Structure 1
Amino acid sequence: MVGAFFTLILCLMRVLFSYSLAALLLFGSCSQAQSEKSPHEPKGSSGKKHKKESLENRFTEAAVPGLKRLGQLEGVQESSGLALGQPGTYYTMGDQGNPPILYQVDGDGKLLKEVRLSATNEDWESITHSPDGTLFVADAGNNNNSRRDLTIYRVNPAQPDAVGQIHFTYPDQQEFPPKKKQRNFDCEASVWHDGQIYLFTRDRGSKAISKVYTVPDKSGTYTARRVASLSIPDEVTDASISPNGRQLVLMGSEQMFVLKGASLSSLLKAKPRRIALPGAGQTEGVLFTDDQTLLISSEQGSLYQYKMP
């Protein structure tokens, strides 16, 4: 009887020892896993990912003198343009598939306000502004060159329910769509100047020519007037003119083209100078914030500042 009792005690001690050893091993594994992850790293994020993004940003800035990454656009899916807002703020928006919302952000990309318009977003690809603060949102994305409902929305941000509409057609488009090599009726770039909206096409046919058209900035239905053709060896994704009217920038994919002149008419005859932006992403928004400084956004959400040389 006594022998059986001691045998039972011995078995219990072995079980307790096994559980204690397992607990120690488990605790050690958890401690090691915790030590491998920074206590400041956000839940669900990857340290390697942040390190890679940081390295890419430093590479981009180092490769492009004058370029500085300001931050990440908050809450904006596929930024497709930039326009001035109230002092120190800017407007941007998403393109096809996104809601009809203008996003007001600060200079670091922080979201300040959402403005939902009484309009549809078939394919918003550009936004520009006039000196009185009126915004012009070009629903003129036309990837297949087959649209017949091209519209520019005339917007007072303080009255988002009272949206004017500028409908337009191209005078030289006869087929919807034209043959692939002739598909140059997509528009993703616009600027306001002297009561006119200047539209710059994205040449999906040959990536060689950006045609320039104008329409009045008042609500109505118009046939756009073709005023120029620019030799741009890329697909133009946005445009901006400097406050003094002496520089015009056309954005491409990780590059931009600068034209200089004494007036807009001379700018449209100038020879473009290419500036490469390696690593900047799919750049689709550009805006002069002063005569020598650009704000640039990418579809991936990066916000950059570029100082003109």
Structure 2
Amino acid sequence: MLPALLTLALTAGSALAEPAVVDVCRISDQRLQELSGLASDGERWYAVNDSDDGHVEIQVLDRTCAITRTIEAPANPFDVEDLALAPDGTLWLADTGDNGRSRETVALHAVAPDGTSRLYRLTYPDGKHDAEALLLDARGVPHVVTKESIGSPLVYRPKGDLDVGAPTPMEQVAKVRIRGTDTPGGPLQSSVVTRVVTGGAMSADGKVAALRTYTDAYLFPVPDGDLAKALESDPVRVPLPNEPQGEAIAFDPDGTLLSASEFGDRGTGSTVRAVANATALATPPPTTTTPPPPPQGDPAAAPPTTDEDRPLPWGVIGAGAAALALTGLLVRRSRRRGA
């Protein structure tokens, strides 16, 4: 069992959790040198590269980081950036990367364990976006979270049922509040890399969502199944320091949070790391507040104190770090084909 230090501290606008982040194993297989998506069923892990080699490959790993088999699907993705595992075993690939913001549609690939797949094209309502995070809510509805170097990450979901025959329009349903941090890591020495969203994951019971940047994970409680509402709340931040290009994040069914990075410039591999009992961190501890003294004069004139009058336990989130343009800084691979 992995040790965990469940330490929480309130910060401006969010809570900071500093649990133990434990190295589990190291991926050295070159087939995952651009690891961008990770999922877990408790016994094995599923991982995807974001390179374009003309077809979908999902690598199945044991818990020593060894690839045991490959699931191939006859699809031609443009830029797969994330991976989600549905309760029925379907693996959802987020073919939503668009560094040049040139795509008329983005796509989701739903891949069964036997490699059969379905392609769903999606359109944004307000122009083109680059996105690297996919979340499936408790009903199985996909939510795409954009990667914004300026402004807040945006959350989109399909307006209706997905259709293999025609693109499905999406609607914006939330904005995520993420601030820059001083956590070291990422491909550049810039505050931008600490606030752009590079991956997402949902707990097995659908009650905790996680988004990650290159340097930190953010945990959002989803108590009532309303994922869009939850993503507009103040999250709990878990630092994931010193990952060269952290893009992969997942939950084990027992609530352990997993993270991993692309191999980085040296190309020597990626360490899968774990935070035990991470879902328990998503709800900050209750805070004790002292009620204000009663007003002088007639007690009957004093309005009753309600829960809405009490100070919020999380505080009000401060203004974000100064926006820096990321385009041109994070030089990525050019894509040969469109979704």
TM-score (norm 2): 0.64
Pair 109,218 (structure 1): closer, same or farther in 2 beyond 3 Å = farther
Equivalent in 259, 264, 271 of residue 302 of structure 1:
271
Equivalent-residue separation in structure 1 for 2:70 and 2:199 (angstroms): 22
Equivalent-residue separation in structure 2 for 1:130 and 1:117 (angstroms): 17
Equivalence for 1:267:
230
Q: Secondary structure at the match of 2:36?
A: coil
Question: Is residue 166 of structure 1 aligned with residue 120 of structure 2?
Answer: yes
Query: What is the number of residues matched between the two proteins?
Result: 231
Equivalent-residue separation in structure 2 for 1:127 and 1:157 (angstroms): 14
Question: Is residue 89 of structure 1 aligned with residue 34 of structure 2?
Answer: no
1:221-260 map, 5 Å: 221-233=167-179, 234-260=195-221
Structure 1 vs Structure 2 CA RMSD: 1.9
Kindly state the Cα deviation for residue 290 of structure 1 after the two structures are TM-superposed: 2.9
CA radius of gyration, larger in: 1
Aligned AA (1:246): K
1:170-181 map, 5 Å: 170-173=124-127
Equivalent-residue separation in structure 2 for 1:104 and 1:248 (angstroms): 23
Preserved contact between residue 197 and residue 212 of structure 2 (Cα < 8 Å)? yes
Question: Is residue 200 of structure 1 aligned with residue 145 of structure 2?
Answer: yes
Aligned AA (1:230): V
Aligned AA (2:56): P
Q: Secondary structure at the match of 1:82?
A: strand
Equivalent-residue separation in structure 2 for 1:261 and 1:114 (angstroms): 33
Equivalent in 15, 21, 26 of residue 72 of structure 1:
26
Equivalent-residue separation in structure 2 for 1:225 and 1:107 (angstroms): 38
Residue-by-residue CA offset, 1:26-70 (whole Å, 9 max, x unaligned): xxxxxxxxxxxxxxxxxxxxxxxxxxxxxxxxxxxxxx6421111
Kindly state the Cα deviation for residue 155 of structure 1 after the two structures are TM-superposed: 0.8
Structure 1 unaligned blocks of 5 or more: 1-63, 177-184
Q: Secondary structure at the match of 1:81?
A: strand
Kindly state the Cα deviation for residue 115 of structure 1 after the two structures are TM-superposed: 1.8
Kindly state the Cα deviation for residue 91 of structure 1 after the two structures are TM-superposed: 1.0
Pair 253,232 (structure 1): closer, same or farther in 2 beyond 3 Å = same
Pair 218,295 (structure 1): closer, same or farther in 2 beyond 3 Å = farther
Equivalent-residue separation in structure 2 for 1:238 and 1:264 (angstroms): 20
Preserved contact between residue 197 and residue 217 of structure 1 (Cα < 8 Å)? no
TM-score (norm 1): 0.70
Aligned AA (2:249): V
Equivalence for 1:287:
250
Question: Is residue 146 of structure 1 aligned with residue 102 of structure 2?
Answer: yes
